[in-house]
Amino acid sequence: MINQQFAELQGYLRDEKKLGAELQSLSNGGYLVTIKNVPIRNGWNCQTVDVLFMAPPGYPAAKPDCFWVTPQLRLNNGALPQAANDGTVIPGDPIPGRPLTWFSWHLQTWDPSRDKLVTFYSAVMKRLIPAR
């Protein structure tokens, strides 16, 4: 299931956004999805970030929750984004110590028979644009 959904996400990102993505299995049974060089527009201290999120063990019945970006992200005025911090690491991160900003961003609904990795990526982008 995860490989098929990741292939769909890769196709969407490549064809629609001209972006690349990686999938890594984690020791906890989940997967780390990394989307490289995502443009985030005005209002941030960076023009692009890498977006990272987990497909947790039990995915898709267990929904993705929260996400990270690297490098650390701030609003243009230097403030930390709403519902974010720099101290929450990715569980089982294959690159420990990398500079991350964690977003406490939760989907209100998730239907494992309908929603996919693309669904969660779209929700992440709705959080990042506009900057807040």
CA distances to 9, 18, 36, 85 from 15, rounded to whole Å, are 10, 6, 14, 32
CATH number at residue 95: 3.10.110
pTM for the full predicted model: 0.95
Q: Which of 40, 132, 130 is nearest to 77 (CA)?
A: 132
- The answer, yes or no, to whether residue 17 has pLDDT greater than 90, is yes
- The answer, yes or no, to whether residue 115 has pLDDT greater than 90, is yes
Which segments of 15-116 does DSSP mark as H helices, in order?
A: none
- The domain of 8 spans 2-128
pLDDT in tens, 66-99: 999 999 999 999 999 999 999 999 999 999 999 9
- From CA 19, how far away is CA 123, in angstroms rounded? 17
- Residue with tokens 């985030």, as numbered in its chain: 40
Domain count, the chain: 1
pLDDT at 5: 97
